[in-house]
Amino acid sequence: MNKKTVRDIDVGGRRVLLRVDFNVPLDPSTGAISDDTRIRRVLPTIEYLIEEKARVIICSHLGRPDGKVLEGLRLAPVGERLSQLLGVPVLCTRDSIGPEVEVAVGGLKDGEVLLLENLRFHPEEERNDPEFALALARLADVYVDDAFGTSHRAHASVVGVTEHLPAVAGFLLEREVEMLTSTLDNPARPFTAIIGGAKISDKIGLLENIMDKVDSLLIAGGMGSTFLKSLKYEMGKSRVEENKLGLAQRLMDKAQEKGVHLLLPADIVVADRFESNARSKTVPVASVPEGWYVMDIGPETIDLFEAKLRKSKTVIWNGPVGVFEFDKFKNGTTAIATILASLDATTIVGGGSTAEAVEALGLVDKITHVSTGGGASLKLLEGKELPGVKVLLDRE
């Protein structure tokens, strides 16, 4: 990554505005943090700033409050968890800008940490409002972006503040960008991509960009039904993007032209209802019963995919291969995650649902890189520049 990082600037004694992605999942019944992965992943940057005697001002969003103050989306519980992980006090403010915040920032000593309130309590954040960005920037001398998960958003705390402060990357953002871009640009071969998820329309850019780089492409999940339908297989009541059948065929033709081995499911698990306790069975792709739903890949498909993956030296996986939210239909996604964890290869898992699946299985430490950003990782895999990365200072 040809951008400056926090290592490249002097932060000692300076006020550092650190944008992170603390958009952690909360237990709906208790409001407690149910997974602190996103907090843990940014600890190296915070610990570095503390060691360097910076005055650390952390800002983040949480959930979708739509510009309103919602008590259930305050960041105080996140600050409490962060304090436990760091082993130092973390002061939390009740707003992200304004006189009280300025007083709190003014009282910070070298090496101390302050967490601002949820940025999205202000509608100006998502609008990239210049005045809101300036109010944030006034709090600090330096800006560090370690929020890869929001780096594809042109928001005030991601893009706007960089017009007023020298802006560099944190360690997590640096690793995310380098892992994803270097893997695409210079992969060890054979290079295989597994693309799942619900819809082709969400991943047109990814499919077209990655087709020029991979040796094999394994397609499953909801989008697999559209590919199979384009080959004239009936998919029952499964969601099929009828207006993307031609695109699916063009992508398969492109794969053939480029010598990319494109694999689709050979057998699938179907259910009579789209419910967790539905009646189910495994059938060949040519035998989906009328009125049934495709819910997962079958054992023959898992074996086909595994044979290809075992020969790979680089694997990127983006999108679950079944309805893994339902225990009964998570076997395919579990199998792919387990196979990847056992490979002697560079393995990268895109963010979002795929990362959640790997984390739920406790396999994160056995994957080379699990991205913290769903939309951001997707944009990078599409070959696009991220607004939050573009605005950072270039390395000379």
Quickly count: other Cβ atoms within 10 Å of residue 15's Cβ: 19
Catalytic residue flag (residue 67): no
Q: In the structure encoding, which two tokens stand for residue 29, read together?
A: 């019944």
What contacts 386, CB < 8 A, 6 or more positions away?
151, 152, 177, 376, 379, 380
Catalytic entry in 319, 352, 373, 388: 352
**Under a CB-based contact definition with an 8 Å cutoff, are residues 211 and 254 in contact?**
yes
Assess whether 72 carries a catalytic annotation. Answer: no
- Report the 10 Å Cβ neighbour count for 383: 16
Catalytic residue among 14, 53, 127, 199: 199
Helix pair 171-185, 374-381: axis angle to 10 deg: 30
Question: Given the structure tokens 């304004």, which residue do they identify?
Answer: 98
Alpha helices per DSSP H over 130-262: 130-137, 171-185, 204-210, 221-230, 245-258
Interatomic CA distance for residues 369 and 179, integer angstroms: 7
Peptide bond into 190 cis (omega under 30): yes
Tell which residue, 307, 237, 230, 303, has the closest CA to residue 265. 303
Of 15, 38, 55, 379, which residue is the catalytic one?
38
- Active-site residue, 224 included: no
Active-site pick, 63, 111, 205, 375: 375
Residue 308 amino acid letter = K
Q: Where are the beta strands (DSSP E) in the chain?
A: 15-19, 55-59, 90-92, 113-115, 142-145, 167-169, 191-195, 216-219, 261-263, 267-271, 280-284, 293-297, 314-318, 346-349, 369-370
- 153/51 Cα distance (integer angstroms): 30
Sign of CA dihedral 332, 334, 337, 342: negative
Whole-angstrom distance, CA of residue 329 vs CA of residue 85: 35
Which residues are known to be catalytic? 38, 199, 352, 375
